[in-house]
Structure 1
Amino acid sequence: MMVKPCWRACVEGDGSGSRDDTDGRANGLWWYKDLGQHVSGDFSMAVIQANNLLEDQSQLESGPLSLLDSGPCGTFVGVYDGHGGPETSRFVNQTLFTNLKRFASESEEVSADVIRRAFLATEEEFLCLVRQQWSTNPQMASVGTCCLVGVICNGVLHVANAGDSRAVLGRADKSGRGVTAVQLSTEHNASFESVRNELRTLHPDDPHIVVSKHKVWRVKGIIQVSRSIGDAYLKRWEFNREPLLDKFRLPRRFSKPILSAEPSVLIHRLNPEDQFLIFASDGLWEHLSNQEAVDIVASNPRNGIARRLVECTLRKAAKKREMRYADLKKIERGVRRHFHDDITVVVVFIDRQPSIARSTPVVSIRGGARLPSRANA
């Protein structure tokens, strides 16, 4: 059995230099794994940092999905789009898959219920951590992450989402002339009327549950997403008080959580027309449509395709800002000046049914680690 360890970042100035692509490569503001193999095919991963600290995390785990020798085998993908800081996304990157394996062992299968339980257990563990650190680090209560997960097992795909990241399937047309984009995830962002209506139904006594500020809808006028892991200050009143910063404190006490960690889950049985999956944070989908992203993947080599998607996103965003992409590429600080959200992409190709043989190689790779802050870059 071959085990690929979690990637260790190569930070500028630490003397380590660049590494080969065995476990991913760090290069300035980039981290990427251009091409690797999981039990059902190939994958490609890329992350670019735009925040002071990289707040996004991602992972791909391929092999056993439970703690049992006779348990299911498959591939787990996670994209964790952090906000307010990197602590929650890093915690989820270390914890969620472990919880899924534990619950899959108890149920002897991977199911929507197992995935939901893993989300909620991870949430509870993080809130416990916030409570433990409240006296020394109260701002942990304001840190959270969107959480997008895909699990491929026995020819079935589960997609679970809490937040506004997105999973899109590339499906070959029956005519054989192209590849069609199929969105698989439900997004929980107050910009959608359905989300605002859901919040109003859940909180009928709160006329300010969603507020429009500068033409942007936000939950309590603060945050756009309605579901996340973390954001303890909007989950439990005990964390919405001093010494938390004023901008996070609400004037009225609340008795039930304002945000939820409950994911929406879609189950899809894969068929021969299903070619690949794109899992990405909202920074990509802000500039590329589902079909544009699928067309890029379908018409280019697999090697480095996740990085190509991010580059296409930056190019399109730069054009909107009347910038030359060449200048943006030349001076990395341009990314930080003009873009305010990290971008994370994982592309998973589906070439075959996963083998359940115990000799199947195990892959564990995690993208997103500490890169230089603005002050140090």
Structure 2
Amino acid sequence: MGACCSCHRGGRFDSYLVEEERDHHTGGGGGGGGGEENGDIVLRGDAGARIRLTGSSKYVSMFSQQGRKGVNQDAMTVWENFSGDKDMFFCGVFDGHGPSGHKVARYMRDFLPAKISYLYKQPIVVDIEADEPEDECGNVPEYSRNPLFLSWKARLTKCFHEMDDQLEGDASIESYCSGTTSVCVLKKAEHLIIANLGDSRAVLCTRDENDHLVSEQLTVDLKPNLPGEAHRIRSCEGRVLAMDEEPNVYRIWMPNEDCPGLAMARAFGDFCLKDFGLISTPQVTYRKLTQKDEFVVLATDGIWDALSNDEVVKVVASAGSRSVAAKMVVERAVRTWRYKYPRAKIDDCAVVCLFFKRQRPALTKSVSEVTQLSLNYNGIDARSCTESMKSDDALDTVLNCDVKEGGGDQSNNTNTNNNTEGNRTRKRRPPVKKIEHVGE
């Protein structure tokens, strides 16, 4: 900590003028299905887009709460009528880490959507030979050659790289040992594009063949021990090791120093690790929505460390008003943290819920629609849950710790990610065959 990053000043892309926030720690409930704003922060963005930093609207519920580790390093935003399209939404959550993580998270919250909106209107060069994304079973999805998906993947990847370069050139923010993860979704009609960078998560609520609400995880938690991520990091001379105090938490370490101990494989910032395997390339995926799909939840890992996907979906589905759905998820996560990890400091939490349909008098017809998603904590052994949380409360970054070599084999990890699309270093990028794709 305290080291400086020697870098050139890059070009800056200006976004909207951000007003002073009323409350950095919490996002209020707001006006429910009627779209009342009741103190919400609503700004104007590119092409007249409505920018929300807290609160709710007809299709959106947002809430963030500071944990017990210091300043709230989570940030979130929703752009309605994104880029001037009335049926288009942009949603994003950002989880900062390191001494200036809160500044990095808010920087990306303020500038990333505007840059995406700008690139949305520009011709884009598509890499037709990029590695195709694989699902959990190792299969290549049908959409991987879809021109719409390829153009959005190229735009988002270009945008994330340029934002990382812009952050590196901004001397006002210490980003050498600080950074942020990000998970964003773009919804236009029935198209849902997901861009994931790190270990925040997007989860879809849909209906099964029996019309029961079920959860479907749309992103992979990009941790350093995933085989594809670990291979890339080690090929760049970075180390992937777990400390004795937390054998299940793998971190990235510099080749010859026991720092910074970063618990995710992709992030904005953290330039001390960018030559050693950490990348800012998002994993971009696509989902075509159907009438069975109800809503998507974006949340930082403070939520997912405490609650399962099914539990989050049930809490949102059981909310009597959409305006309080995100707040209910945060409150449930905080209560669960206190039960599961009584000796750990509660993490910051940020939740964005994007609903796909107009609200009915109640989101669920009856309690039976969510009976498949049980919330039963009686069988949890609180003592066993705290073993990996005793030393540093599962911090995202660990500085100046002794780490022993040769720790652990990641081959038994079932949540694999063999996608090597992000093998990008700070030194140079490999040449690609390109075609030009204009518009959608």
- What TM-score does the superposition give when structure 1 sets the normalisation length? 0.69
Which letter maps to 1:103?
L
Query: d(CA) in 2 for partners of 1:11 and 1:166?
Result: 24
Residue among 189, 209, 233 paired with 1:154: 189
Q: What are the ranges of 5 or more consecutive residues in structure 2 without an aligned counterpart?
A: 1-15, 31-36, 43-51, 125-147, 359-440
Matches for 1:84-233 after TM superposition, within 5 Å? 84=98, 85=100, 86-107=102-123, 111-129=152-170, 132=171, 139-176=174-211, 178-200=212-234, 202-203=235-236, 206=237, 209-214=239-244, 215=247, 216-220=249-253, 222-233=261-272
Query: d(CA) in 2 for partners of 1:11 and 1:169?
Result: 29
Q: What are the ranges of 5 or more consecutive residues in structure 1 without an aligned counterpart?
A: 13-17, 26-30, 236-255, 324-337, 353-377
Query: d(CA) in 1 for partners of 2:285 and 2:160?
Result: 15
Query: d(CA) in 2 for partners of 1:315 and 1:166?
Result: 20
**Identity across matched positions, percent:** 24
Measured on the aligned residues, the alpha-carbon RMSD in Å equals: 2.9
Greater per-residue strand proportion: 1
Query: d(CA) in 2 for partners of 1:43 and 1:11?
Result: 19
Q: Deviations over 1:105-125 (max 9, x none)?
A: 103887121111111111110
Residue among 303, 328, 333 paired with 1:308: 328
Contact conserved, 2:206 with 2:295, CA < 8 A, in 1?
yes
Which letter maps to 2:103?
E
Residue among 61, 73, 79 paired with 1:55: 73
- What TM-score does the superposition give when structure 2 sets the normalisation length? 0.60
**Bigger RCO (CA 8 Å, 6+ sep):** 1
Residue among 91, 95, 105 paired with 1:81: 95
Which letter maps to 2:193?
H
SS of the aligned residue for 1:288 comes to coil
Residue among 270, 282, 287 paired with 1:268: 287
- Deviation, structure 1 residue 342: 1.1
- Deviation, structure 1 residue 226: 1.0
Contact conserved, 1:162 with 1:261, CA < 8 A, in 2?
yes
Q: Deviations over 1:303-345 (max 9, x none)?
A: 301000011101111112459xxxxxxxxxxxxxx53531110
Query: d(CA) in 1 for partners of 2:63 and 2:243?
Result: 33
Which letter maps to 2:354?
V
- Deviation, structure 1 residue 5: 9.4
Query: d(CA) in 2 for partners of 1:294 and 1:192?
Result: 26
Contact conserved, 1:34 with 1:46, CA < 8 A, in 2?
yes
Contact conserved, 1:170 with 1:277, CA < 8 A, in 2?
yes
Report whether the alignment pairs 1:286 with 2:305: yes
Corresponding residue for 1:65? 83
Query: d(CA) in 2 for partners of 1:63 and 1:113?
Result: 22
Corresponding residue for 2:367? none
Q: Deviations over 1:252-276 (max 9, x none)?
A: xxxx352100000111111111100
Which letter maps to 1:128?
G
Q: Deviations over 1:127-175 (max 9, x none)?
A: 111xx45xxx7x4321100011100013200000111000000001231
SS of the aligned residue for 2:192 comes to strand
Inter-CA distance 347–111: structure 2 relative to 1 (3 Å threshold) = same
SS of the aligned residue for 1:96 comes to helix
